[in-house]
Chain A
Amino acid sequence: MKTYQIRYFAILREQRGLAHETRPSAAPDAQALYQELQDEYGFTLPVDRLRAAINGEFAAWPAPLADGDEIVFIPPVAGG
């Protein structure tokens, strides 16, 4: 079991009802962690429409995780 710091933005923040949480999980990577969270909170975006950022930098799926990592799931962007 590891402990992760998860930050949420935009539609995910709204659907989770939080901007940040500390979560213990057995998920080995960000993809598995998202599936776990999606099952629990009903996130509408499928994982293949997201990008992952670990410790402040983009990471390629499945994005392996280490204990204490900060994960951000990035919904489709819409700047401009």
Chain B
Amino acid sequence: MPFRIISQPIQPAALLHPQAGACATFEGWVRNHNEGQAVDSLEYEAFAELAEKEGERVLAEARERFDLLAVEAVHRVGHLQIGDLAVWVGVAAAHRGPAFDACRYIIDELKARVPIWKREHYASGETTWINCATRGDFADKTPPTAS
């Protein structure tokens, strides 16, 4: 399964391939601030069946668009602390160009399309489901990143 939703800590996969001269990876980490608020932790939730299907489609699109030898991605769910790895994307290709381009394409599409949600926990004790506000300027912004 090249795209998986898991609840355990992510172990970045090996993408070794004898024809590969380039490997590009992206790690999305939980950071301690967002939109000016101090963040204590993040909770991720997924509609796993559809998230894995849609994630697979993103990886298939990347394989069609870019000349790749290996591709894999994983997103973690559950309650994560500052510094934890939330999402990992890895691609291997003969050359660096397609490796970088595909890595960027995959993380951008995963963030835009895959049914995964995050709730921020603030130092104040309050929580917010990111991107689900219905009033204020927050509602129309693109979701903040864990990167």
Q: How far is the CA of A58 from the CA of B115 in the complex (A)?
A: 10
Cβ contact of B132, chosen from A10, A72, A79, A80, cutoff 8 A:
A10
How near does chain B come to A20, taking the closest CB pair, in angstroms?
12
A10 touches B110 (CB 8 A): no
Bits for A61-80, please: 1 = Cβ < 8 Å to B, else 0: 00000000000101111111
A76 touches B53 (CB 8 A): no
A80 touches B53 (CB 8 A): no
Considering only residues 101-120 of chain B, those with a C-beta below 8 Å from chain A are: 107, 110-119
Residues of chain A contacted by B107 (CB below 8 angstroms): 80
A60 within 8 A of B: no
Bits for B34-71, please: 1 = Cβ < 8 Å to A, else 0: 00000000001111011101100000000000000000
B110 touches A80 (CB 8 A): yes
**Known contacts A10-B45, A10-B129, A79-B110, A53 near B115 by CB under 8 Å:** yes
B143 touches A78 (CB 8 A): yes
A57 within 8 A of B: yes
A9 touches B143 (CB 8 A): no
Considering only residues 90-147 of chain B, those with a C-beta below 8 Å from chain A are: 107, 110-119, 129-132, 134, 139, 143-147
A57 touches B110 (CB 8 A): no
A77 touches B134 (CB 8 A): no
How many residues from A make CB contacts under 8 Å with B? 21
A17 within 8 A of B: no
A77 touches B115 (CB 8 A): yes
B143 touches A76 (CB 8 A): yes
A80 touches B145 (CB 8 A): yes
* Chain B residues within CB distance 8 Å of chain A: 28, 44-47, 49-51, 53-54, 75, 86-87, 107, 110-119, 129-132, 134, 139, 143-147
* Chain A residues within CB distance 8 Å of chain B: 7, 9-11, 14, 44-46, 49, 53, 56-58, 72, 74-80
9 contacts between A and B (CB under 8 A): A9-B115, A11-B117, A11-B132, A56-B49, A58-B50, A74-B47, A79-B111, A79-B117, A80-B28
